[in-house]
Structure formats: C-alpha cells, structure tokens
Amino acid sequence: MSETQVRECDPNLPDDVQALIGTLQYEEVGEFPVERGYFWTSAASVENGNPLFWDDAVADEITDGPVAPLMLLSAWFRPHHWAPSRAVEKLPLQIHFDLKARFELPEAIMTENTTIFHEPVRPGDLITSAQRLVSVTEELDRRLGTGRFWIIDVEYRNQRGELCGIERWEGFGYRRDPA
Amino acid sequence: MISLDQVQVGDTLPTLSYDVTSTTVVLGALAARDWRPMHHDHHFAVERQGVQDIFLNSPNQGSWLERFVTDWTGPKGRLGRLRFKMRKPIFPGDTMVFEGTVRAVSVDDAGCGWVELDLTIRVGDVTCTESEAKVAVPTSPDDNPWQRHGDDWRP
C-alpha cells in the first residue's frame, strides 16, 4: 500500500522551522486513562455494529477482551476543551497550530491521513504521544486560498511502551484570497 | 466472517450508503474528541473557512471507513493500515456512498493473510475521499489476526 506522498519541502524554509524537521516534540501522556464509553460513542457515531465493541463474549474470544475502535487512536491525545488552572486552550497536534502561527496562516484543514495500527488500545491504557514535523512546502495557490502543506507524524505508545500506532497527517494552512 | 481463500483480486465490497445530517457531523467530531468549530459551528465554517457548512472531521471519516471494511471482513478482520485523502468536504445533506475493490491478496513471511483494498467515499458523481486499506483476515478457520504481536504483526 502506498504511503502519503511527501510534497517537496520548501528549500528556503526559515532556519527555526528547518531545525524542527525530524525533531520529536510534544511528548505527552494522555490526560485520562482510555475509557470504554468512548468505544461505544465512536461505534455509535458511525453505526458500527462490529460485535468486538458490543459483545463481551466475542471480544473475549477474538481480542482477549475489549479493544478500542482502531480509528479512535487520535482521541487519546486530544486534550480536554477546558481544565482547571489552564488559562489557554490546549490544542491537539500542536505542531499544526505552531505552523499556522509561524506562517501567519489563519485557516487550516487536514487533507490526508495514514495510520499504521499495531497493539490495540484497551480500557485503562494510558497513551503517550509524540509529534514530529516531516515537511513544509512553499506557498501554493489552492481553491481555498494561498498557503502551505505540511506533514506531521504522531507516534502512540501504551504504558508498557508498546507501539500502538503511527499517524501521518497532511494539513494545509492558508489565508483566504480577497474576494 | 470471510477468510483469505474466499477473496480474489477484483472482488467488490457491498456498497454502503448513508445520509449525512448535522447530527452525523457533530456526533462524529465529539466522539473523536475533536472540538474544532468547523465541525459544529455553521457560522465559523461558512464565514471563517469559506465552505458551505460544517463538515465531517478526519478521524470520523476514518471511523466510517473502518466500519465499511469490517462490515465486510467480520470481527476477525484487523486493519493494519488505512490511508485516506480528503479531496472535498462532506456536508449535512450529502448522501455518502462507500465503494471498495480488492486490489491485492497476499500472505506475508509470518503467515499473516492480507487484503489490500481501494476505497472511495462518493457524493453523487464526486469522489470526496480516496482511500486505501490493508486488512488482515484469517487464513484458516483457526487463524486469528488479532493474536499476532511483535514480529508476527507486520502491517
């Protein structure tokens, strides 16, 4: 299966951004242990009747107990929308927001995701994530506006250090062109 | 539940069709803990992002694709990789149509059976999302891809 194509990196990136490429950043432990309620909410949101998520006997037989829907992986590193003593909203995929600010691109969308799944996530797991900037393009004109594409990898491990998955996100930060 | 010997290149998955509502979008975003406003705030989506409405978030599109694949494989099907490229947002009022075709069938050196799939999410004549999945399925009645760990799991 093909990987996310890495677009050509801007050869004239500012030094501070260039220095971040390939560097592991924002290694963080999830704000809460993995809880099963999210498994059901996620499966319900897409009407996924897979008995792995709804029938304990099937989960015991096939997966040695409950496992999370696999595409829920990124949920475990998304911070609460609010928490006491937090003055500023904490954001997921912080490198994405750092790049928006650094290049003064007020809007952004995610355009592509590739996830490789390893050990399944189970109730009670505490997931640690870490982010790595892979590339940033030159400014390009697109339908939504003018901006840059970037690729960020996120690695997820459980409390035993086992690799649960690797996500590769491609985002497009942009400013809308004047009407 | 399918097994590897039942799968051939060119096989198609049963089509899934689903009418998207605002609830679909908001529920999917909150289920993924995605609080960004373009997935629940119509005015933000239109006035700030320049799109026509709130739209499905990325992890939720992945969850829809996961469901589409495992509807076909059954619970012993274990995703190894999923890639999806979102070419056009999916909005309330759209009818999503999921389609899939088997591109490759193989057994790796550890004995794990793999099926590679080309997937799309279409709205009308427009392909909104292109996707590829690599899913492990049993090679025999007593094989279970979920029991593979470490070097025996090579997604």
How confident is the model over B111-138, as a mean pLDDT?
98
pLDDT band at B50 (very low <50, low <70, confident <90, very high): confident
Nearest to A42 among B32, B49, B81 (CB): B32
**Biggest distance spanned by C-alpha atoms of chain B:** 55
Phi, psi at residue A169, to the nearest 5°?
-105, 135
Nearest to A176 among B50, B66, B133 (CB): B50
Q: How far is CA B51 from CA A109, A172, B45, in A?
A: 11, 15, 6
Nearest to A113 among B31, B62, B75 (CB): B62
Q: In chain A, helix, strand, coil percent, each to 5? A: 25, 30, 45
Q: How many CB atoms lie within 10 A of CB B86?
A: 22
Q: What is chain A's pLDDT, residue by residue, as a tens digit (179 residues)?
A: 666 677 889 999 999 999 999 999 999 999 999 999 999 999 999 999 999 999 999 999 999 999 999 999 999 989 999 999 888 888 889 999 999 999 999 999 889 999 999 999 999 999 999 999 999 999 999 988 999 999 999 999 999 999 999 999 999 999 987 76
Question: Which residues of chain B make contact with A37, given a CB cutoff of 8 A?
Answer: none
Q: Which ipTM score applies to this complex?
A: 0.96
Give the per-residue pLDDT at A18: 95
Give the per-residue pLDDT at A1: 62
Q: Is A176 on the interface with B (CB under 8 A)?
A: yes
Q: For residue B10, is it left (φ>0), alpha (ψ between -120 and 50) or beta?
A: left
Question: What residues contact residue B133 under an 8 Å CB cut-off, 6+ apart?
Answer: A1, B65, B69, B79, B81, B82, B83, B100, B116, B117, B119
Residue A104 has what DSSP assignment?
T
Q: Which two tokens stand for residue A139?
A: 């400014």
Question: What residues contact residue B137 under an 8 Å CB cut-off, 6+ apart?
Answer: B2, B3, B4, B7, B73, B76, B77, B113, B114, B115, B145
Q: Which two tokens stand for residue A125?
A: 């797991």
Q: Is B78 on the interface with A (CB under 8 A)?
A: yes
Give the per-residue pLDDT at A179: 67
- Contact: B60, A62; criterion CB under 8 Å: no
| pTM of this structure | 0.91
Question: What residues contact residue B115 under an 8 Å CB cut-off, 6+ apart?
Answer: B4, B7, B73, B102, B104, B105, B134, B135, B136, B137
Question: Which residues of chain A make contact with B49, given a CB cutoff of 8 A?
Answer: 107, 109, 144
How confident is the model over B13-28, as a mean pLDDT?
98
- Contact: A46, B64; criterion CB under 8 Å: yes
Strands B78-86, B95-107: pairing is: unpaired
CA of B89, closest CA in chain A: separation in Å? Answer: 10
Q: Is A117 on the interface with B (CB under 8 A)?
A: yes
